[in-house]
Every structure is written in structure tokens, then in C-alpha cells.
Amino acid sequence: MKKTENRKQKTEINLSVIIIAKNEEEKLLDCLKSVKWVDEIIVVDNDSKDKTVEIAKKFGAKVYKAPDTLTLKYADLRNLGLKKATGKWVFYIDADERVTPELEDEILRLVSLAQDDKVVGGEHNAYAIPRRNIILGREMKHGGWWPDYVKRLFLRKSLEKWTGNVHEEPVYKGEMGHLKNHLVHIKHNKLEEMITKTNKWSEIEAKLMFDANHPKMNIVRFFTAMTREFWLRMIKHKAFLDGSEGTVYALYQVWSKFISYAKLWEMQNND
């Protein structure tokens, strides 16, 4: 099906896109432009202090403010968006992601199949989408960053909820399919951004491990955790093939893992 045909049909396609955003004034507009072809755009604002809400409303998105109790609980934020969505299908995308024209066409073709109640998205009710990760200004093809499938497109009635505080997962009925075309993910441009995020999420990861009664941290556990991460990124997935950027980011992942375990160690010793 040609793109022109898809665009003519889009008014008949009941598709909602859900975006979780916090202080994303620099990236949100390009994200919104890449999904302007959907029927409904929902932005769940997680206590932004910049112009995120203003940009979203000006673009025509439906904006919902998340209660303070949902701050940092990403699964709850996704569930809030799901509750507000009215589409037959829901598509999740982050503010730092972009839909390519090829992915747009693929989603439009797939969702159009569901207009007949006898056909529900072909063989699947949920779909994972590959991502091209742009990190430190370079596309990462190694280090475990490609194809980096993310579960994002669902038949609304099949998606029950999202669970998890850090690495949230969907609970859904049916089988998971995989799309061919990719999202573009502008993950990190500067080390400063990476460090800020690590400091925030490592606290949550450490608390989760602490609450799960993780064995007490010691020198051996620190060493094995760092070694596993280094082996995964640099040896198994050959991050060095992405040049200096790939090497820096792989070593950063080792450091990030160390920070999470160091915070766990601190909690265990202050308990």
C-alpha cells in the first residue's frame, strides 16, 4: 500500500500515540511531528518545569498532568496514558524517539487490517519495534544497541497494564510480533545527560535490589558485576567497532552498573 493511500485512510484508523514527557522542550516537537499522522496524541506530563506542556498543547496533543505520586514510576505513567487513550490501537513513543516514514507506512498498513473485526492485526495483538540508537552523536551498531527491540504497539483491548519501576514491562493477551522498520532513538548527546540520568535511576535500581534482599555487597561481587558488564559490551557485542563513542559508552555502562551496586552497598551498610 502506497503512502498516499495510507494517508487517505488514516481518518478511518483509530490509533492513539502515548508520550511520557518531563522537561523535554528541546526534543518533544520533533517527536510530535513524526507522529502527526495518528488520530490521537496523548502527552502524560511528569511534572515538567520547562515549556513541555505549552509545546504539546500548541501542537494539538491532549495533555494530562501526572499526580505527584507517579513521579519516577514509569509503569504508572504508561498506565495513565493507556487509561486516557481512546484508540483501538495504542502506540507508545518517547520524546527522544522519532518515527521514520517507513515505520509510519508499516504501522498504517498493519492497523488498517484491524478495521475488519474479523482481522485483528494479522497474527498478533502486540508488536515490538527495532530502534536505531544515536548515542554521543553516533549510531551504535554494536555493544548490544542494535536492533534493541522495544514493545510499543498494542491492540488496546489486549493490553492490560504496565508493571515495573525501572524496566517496565507490558502485560497483554496474545502473541508478540516484530515490525521490520525502526524507530530513531536520540538517546544521549552529552556525558552530562548520561550522568544525570544514571544518578537518578541508579537510586531506584539500588532500592529495588535492597528490597529484594540482595546478598551483601563485597569486593568479589563488585568485581564480578563489573566484569560481566565489560564482557557483555566490549567482548560479546564488540562495542569497540563503533569507534571511540562505542568504547566510551560501553565503559560508561560498566561505571553505571558500579554506581547502582555502590548505592546498594551504602544502603546495606546504613541499614
Pair type for strands 97-99 and 183-188: antiparallel
Which range, of 112-116, 163-167, 248-252, averages the lowest pLDDT?
112-116
Q: pLDDT band for 14, please (50, 70, 90 cuts).
A: confident
Q: Which residue, chain included where needed, has cell 487513550? A: 85
Report how far apart the first and last C-alpha atoms of the chain are (Å, whole number): 61
Predicted confidence (pLDDT) at residue 118 exceeds the cutoff of 80: no
What's the CA dihedral at 8, 58, 134, 231 to 10 degrees?
Answer: -110
pLDDT of residue 2: 43
- In this prediction, residue 8 has a pLDDT band, given cuts at 50, 70 and 90, of very low
All structural domains of the chain = 3-188 (3.90.550.10), 191-270 (no CATH)
Strands 159-163 and 169-172: antiparallel
Q: Of the candidates 174, 233, 165, which has an alpha carbon nearest to the alpha carbon of residue 201?
A: 165
Whole-model pTM: value is: 0.87
pLDDT digits (tens, 9 = 90+) for 192-209: 989 998 998 899 899 999
pLDDT digits (tens, 9 = 90+) for 22-55: 999 999 999 999 999 999 999 999 989 999 999 9
